Amino acid sequence: MLSRFALLKTTLLSIGSDIFNAYWTLIKIMVPATIIVKLLDTVGFTQWLGVALGPVVELLGLPSELGLVWAVTMLTNIYTGMAAFYTLSAGQEYTVAQISILGLLMLVAHSLVIEGAVAKATGVRWRLTLAIRIGSGLFLAAIFSQVFSYFGLLQQPAELLWQPQASEPGWLGWGIAQLKLLAWILVILSSLVVMMRILRWLGVERVLQQLLSPLMRCLTIGKEASNITIVGMLLGLSYGAGLLINEVRSGHINKRDTLLVVCFLGLTHSLIEDTLLILLLGADLSTILWGRLVFAIALITAMGRIWLRAREQPAPERA
């Protein structure tokens, strides 16, 4: 009886330690990053970035004012970007093709300050995160822009199915919203840590690894990262990275797989929620979901099989 109690106590302490370590790591990253983003917006950096991106989005077949929408999304999140879009789209009409292209930009490159800081905590450098996410967003948007234009696809007017709720202005309202977000992150992260431990006890983890083994082999990522990949793809990069940090520290996942997983999740995280949000703007499902997913698999497969393997080869000896 005492041994069972001691085992239960040890297990609960271990779970509590995992939750605390993962959450505290995210807090140390997200709080400063969130404040920096707010300050940048306050001094007008978002507006400046939007103007700078105007000519870029015009090359993709979008009106220049939508550069501000992408700028807001990159610095903050998709919800704020949607609110900016709603304000700018009053009295305007866009095609499904245009909204799908904008949606790709928003889905691939959003929350870059916060999510870039989270990725940095796993060992992935800032410049790699920004290069992959911004570069991939522009590349995908350019490809689909050319396809839609050449074949005359998705030229019907887009239907906006969403209207933002009014938010409380100022620092107080912003601060309350951030505290609510951090509280929800604690609840969700705690649930995920417990769920991951239960799956491991029940042996479900091995089943999930087998189911995902074809994808993981294609990406050249070890099966140990399967569960975290699922969490990140379904819920978001912060949650997946929060768990990933614990796994890296415990030695369950090596640095190579960590880099590939973080880069993959940077392009495909939160597949359900984020995709649904962009659909509310009137985007095409196949473009923003399957187009993004296929591209991410192709890119990370190439990274795993070519670039990273080349780096792992020993340097030739000098004569």
The backbone torsions φ and ψ at residue 157, rounded to the nearest 5 degrees and listed phi first, read -60, 140
- Output 243 or 27, whichever has higher pLDDT: 27
Provide mean pLDDT across the span 230-252. 74
Q: Chain-centre distance of CA 310, in angstroms?
A: 27
108 and 136 Cβ atoms separated by less than 8 Å: yes
User: Which of the residue ranges 43-47, 240-244, 283-287 would you say has the lowest mean pLDDT?
Assistant: 240-244
Top pLDDT among 304 and 147 is at 147
Q: What is the pLDDT of residue 232?
A: 81
| Contacting residues for 238 by C-beta, under 8 A, at least 6 apart | 26, 30, 114, 115, 118, 185
DSSP secondary structure letters along 249-318: HHTSS-HHHHHHHHHHHHHHSSHHHHHHHHHTTT--HIIIIIIHHHHHHHHHHHIIIIIHHHHHSPPPPP
Mean pLDDT on 179-191: 81
pLDDT at position 317: 52
Average pLDDT over residues 278-296: 95
pLDDT of the residue at 290: 95
Q: How confident is the model at residue 104 (pLDDT cuts 50, 70, 90)?
A: very high
Is pLDDT at 319 greater than 90 in this prediction?
no
pLDDT tens profile 112-158: 988 888 888 888 899 999 999 999 999 999 999 999 999 999 999 99
First-to-final CA distance of the chain: 68
Instruction: Mention every residue, 6+ apart, whose C-beta is less than 8 A from residue 273.
Output: 235, 236
Least confident of 39-43, 59-63, 106-110, 238-242: 238-242
CA distance 42 to 249: 37
Say yes or no to pLDDT of 314 above 70: no
Of the listed ranges 144-148, 161-165, 190-194, the least confidently predicted one is 161-165
- Torsion on CA atoms 252, 257, 262, 267, rounded to nearest 10: -140
Give residue 270's pLDDT: 83
Distance CA 211, CA 221 (A): 14
* Residue-wise pLDDT tens digits, 82-99: 888 887 877 789 999 999
- Transcribe 74-111 into DSSP letters: HHS-HHHHHHHHHHHTTT---BHHHHHHHHHHHHHS-S
Rounded mean pLDDT of the chain?
84
Q: Is the pLDDT of residue 288 over 80?
A: yes
> What tens digit of pLDDT does each residue of 23-67 get?
887 787 778 877 887 888 888 888 888 899 999 999 999 999 999
At which residue do the structure tokens 């009053």 appear? Answer: 90
Using alpha carbons, select from 79, 90, 95, 232 the residue that is nearest to residue 152. 95
- pLDDT classification of 1: cutoffs 50, 70, 90: low
Segment of 131-145, 227-241, 274-288 carrying the highest mean pLDDT: 131-145
How does DSSP classify residue 169?
A: -
- pTM for the model: 0.81
Indicate whether 236 pLDDT > 60.
yes
Q: In the predicted model, what is the mean pLDDT of residues 262-288? A: 90
Lowest mean pLDDT among 103-112, 123-132, 248-257: 248-257
Of 219, 61, 55, which is closest to residue 145 (Cα–Cα)?
A: 61
Rounded percentage of the chain residues whose pLDDT exceeds 90: 33
Tokens 């890296």 label which residue?
A: 248
What's the one-letter identity of residue 114?
I
